[in-house]
Structure 1
Amino acid sequence: MNSPPWPPAAERTDGSAVRIGALVPLTRPGWVEAGRHLLAGLDLAVGEANDAGGIAGRPLELVVRDTAADPERAAAAVDELAGLGVAALAGEYHSVVARAAAARADALGLPFLCSSAVLDGLTEQPTEWVARLSPPQSRGWQVYADFLLGAGHSRIAVAAQPSVYWASGTRVLRDYLTPRGGTVIELDMSVLTPTAVRDELVGHRATALLLLVGHPEPAVSIVRSVRRDQRLARIMIGAPAGQPEFAEWVTLLGDDGAAIPFLRYRPERLGALGTRVETTLCERLAEAPSFVAFEGYDTIAVLADLLRTHGKDRARTAASWPRVDVAGTRGRIRFSRVPGVNVWQWAVPPVQVVDRDPASPDRFRILHAG
């Protein structure tokens, strides 16, 4: 998919609008479905902000740039958007891409509210210019590790591709599981085929396999291969990065895509705001919105509040992260400094481990919360 399902409002050139730059993966090799949901949330919140009077009577405008999961392309987009005079940056889904965007935003003095990337090391050094809504990977993946231990899994194989993000996730799992009696077995997907993974799992006596790989491939092929091997009938397949969240997963895998636990960042029950936003996003997306769509909406809710309160001066916006107190779709949003994280962080976003119900793959089951 090369474009969102609806066109964002046309960009104004008369200087009347307050502009927010949006970084979104909308083409391959980016995770296009995640980008579509992220943009849906961003765009909905912009429309609602304008319905409520905009920013001191001026319309809020989203200036969208496709990152296509390319860090260099994202960094160039940050330069372009800074030159266009945006008041702030929003968005991005891929952690490695968000890291490149955050570094450039920090260098340029451009406020960036990262919607959905979780890599703890989003920036190399502490910065006042960047804040984040999604939980750091160390928190979310530790919740996932707790779930694994509680489900009786102590020999856990990770099928991982080379990536800073996957390597970081593997390290979080190992550091948490090893002192608690767990063993993490690394399967290098740069040399193994999906078929070869099966023999590795049998040989290592693994009881769980985690997919730390790209979507749809090789994730889909690994699932199909493992599901068809009777020797592995009892193995649990997991996907902490959230591949099964999106409808494409069920389209590609059908029943094979069920019962694969993943991380989702939403509460068990949405409040009034979240419920209303969910209904509207369902209509826009023609499917249930993922947590990524809620992250997009919450990003604009925070930035619109800051811009109304403090104006569009970039330095004043960045200085105001610690004063944010905004009702989001998934809870009250406030930023603080979290140990080990160099950006302003929403410290308590909800974290769940869920899967798709084998009896009805369109329905999610909550397995664990943290």
Structure 2
Amino acid sequence: MASMTMPARPRLPGLLALCAVLLLAACEEQVAAPPPIRLGVIVDVSGPSASLGLAGRNGMQLAVEEANAAGGIQGRPIELLYRDDGFDPQRARQAAAELIAVPVEAALGPMTSLIAEQLAPQFTEAGILLMGATPLSPLLAGRDDQFFRTLSHTNPDARDIANHLGRQRGLRRVNVIIELSNSSYTRPWLADFSRHLQASGAEVGLTVEFSRDQQTDFAALARRALADRPAAVVLISSALDTALLATQLRQQAPQLLLATPAWAAADTLIEMGGRAVEGMITAQAFDLNDSSAAFVAFKQRYQARFAQPIDTAALTSYNATHVLLAALQQRLPGEHPKQALLRIRQFQGVQRQIVFDDFGDSDSLFYPMVVRDGRFSSPE
């Protein structure tokens, strides 16, 4: 009778040893995983400048997602810690304090000059870099602090709009409605606009001021601005308030020519203003007609990711985030982000080079725009 060979019984001590080795290796791998680079984000997503904040947050998020897909910063993943400033200085300062306490390696935002003026000293005292997105106030320029930005603070859109109204349209007088809630931006912009308008042979007539709150009477503001029957009114306010003012102005003066700074040139302006903002003169910080591969690819990626077209806030915030990430990627051992930015100086944005001066300021172009058929278009 043929003998039967019994299968060998597993050697329990050997299996246990193997499991222990594998478990130890997994634990070592987990322990060795690099910690994330934490970056703070402070933008308004609930207040009157939420259209800027939401688009800006999208631009920041896209830049970080792309960087993480490419391996992060020196092998470390990037994590964004979001805070909503609500266009409220006190709330913004609290948000900054929370991020400083984490601490974050650097912070992105805010989107408005009012909030930037509050946060720049706070982050400077903490020694943490703050990369601004769209704050344009000249009051923030020329400071040896921790605040950097990629847009020009010289208000080139004020010059372009003034030249269009004075030289191209031949107007001699223009009325203004100015929002004072963000006065660190709006007052300098009006001063630059008035100077350029005078150089074109025209002048600012009536100036109607308001500070936005829940009781703001936009119809009354419109009546005051139309008291002497102007041919044009310039609205220096946020996208939402500009849309509301334009609606009231056009109801009372359908043929009125309207203009607004690049600050208001966001999707909310068209969505909320509708036909009332048709023909409005404004500007954006990017060239709509750019057919370069880099710009077309960015536009497609952004629209595919967020199902909405790009605007100044989205592109500027993407650029600002990309610049900060590039500096973090290239910094030397022990080098502070500010030192890395000033050492490198020149960075490639989506459409142009971004060059910082000794104070973290830079120059940029603004492109004239007009609202036509529910879209921002280049003027004819």
| Shared fold, TM over 0.5 | yes
Distance 1:77 1:311, change over 3 A: farther
Q: Is the 8 A contact 2:48 2:240 kept in 1?
A: no
* Alpha-carbon distance in 2 for matches of 1:141, 1:106: 30
- 1:34-183 → structure 2 map (5 Å cutoff): 34-122=52-140, 126-149=143-166, 150-163=168-181, 164=183, 165-183=185-203
Which of 263, 267, 273 aligns to 1:253? It is 273
Distance 1:161 1:115, change over 3 A: closer
Please give the TM-score of this superposition, normalised by the length of structure 2. 0.81
- 1:170-319 → structure 2 map (5 Å cutoff): 170-185=190-205, 186-189=207-210, 193-197=217-221, 199-217=223-241, 219-229=242-252, 232-246=253-267, 248-267=268-287, 268-269=289-290, 271-310=292-331, 313=334, 315-318=336-339
Distance 1:221 1:57, change over 3 A: closer
Partner of 2:378, secondary structure, is strand
Structure 1 residue 33: Cα displacement: 2.3
Structure 1 residue 148: Cα displacement: 2.2
* Alpha-carbon distance in 2 for matches of 1:115, 1:51: 23
* Alpha-carbon distance in 1 for matches of 2:258, 2:112: 22
Structure 1 residue 293: Cα displacement: 0.8
Which of 26, 30, 37 aligns to 2:45? It is 26
Which of 356, 361, 364 aligns to 2:371? It is 356
Distance 1:182 1:346, change over 3 A: same
Letter in 2 for 1:136: H
Q: Between 258-267 and 323-332, report the one with greater CA deviation.
A: 323-332
Q: Could you list the runs of 5+ residues in structure 1 that have no partner in the other structure?
A: 1-13, 338-342
Identify the residue that residue 4 of structure 1 maps to in structure 2: none
- Residues matched between the structures, number: 340
What RMSD, in angstroms, separates the aligned Cα atoms of the two structures?
A: 2.5
Please give the TM-score of this superposition, normalised by the length of structure 1. 0.83
Letter in 2 for 1:141: A
Q: Could you list the runs of 5+ residues in structure 2 that have no partner in the other structure?
A: 1-32
Structure 1 residue 66: Cα displacement: 1.0
Q: Between 306-315 and 66-75, report the one with greater CA deviation.
A: 306-315
Partner of 2:155, secondary structure, is helix
Structure 1 residue 353: Cα displacement: 1.7
Structure 1 residue 18: Cα displacement: 1.0
Structure 1 residue 307: Cα displacement: 0.7
Taking every aligned residue pair, what percent have the same amino acid on both sides? 21
* Alpha-carbon distance in 1 for matches of 2:244, 2:333: 48
Identify the residue that residue 344 of structure 1 maps to in structure 2: 360
User: Larger radius of gyration, structure 1 or 2?
Assistant: 2
Identify the residue that residue 328 of structure 1 maps to in structure 2: 349
Q: Between 65-74 and 185-194, report the one with greater CA deviation.
A: 185-194
Report Cα offsets for 1:240-285 as digits up to 9, x if no partner. Answer: 1443431x33333322221111121002315322221211111222
Letter in 1 for 2:281: P
* Alpha-carbon distance in 2 for matches of 1:30, 1:290: 17
Q: Is the 8 A contact 1:330 1:350 kept in 2?
A: no
Q: Between 203-212 and 47-56, report the one with greater CA deviation.
A: 203-212
Q: Between 276-285 and 158-167, report the one with greater CA deviation.
A: 158-167
Structure 1 residue 314: Cα displacement: 6.5
- Which has the larger helix fraction? 2
Distance 1:72 1:151, change over 3 A: same
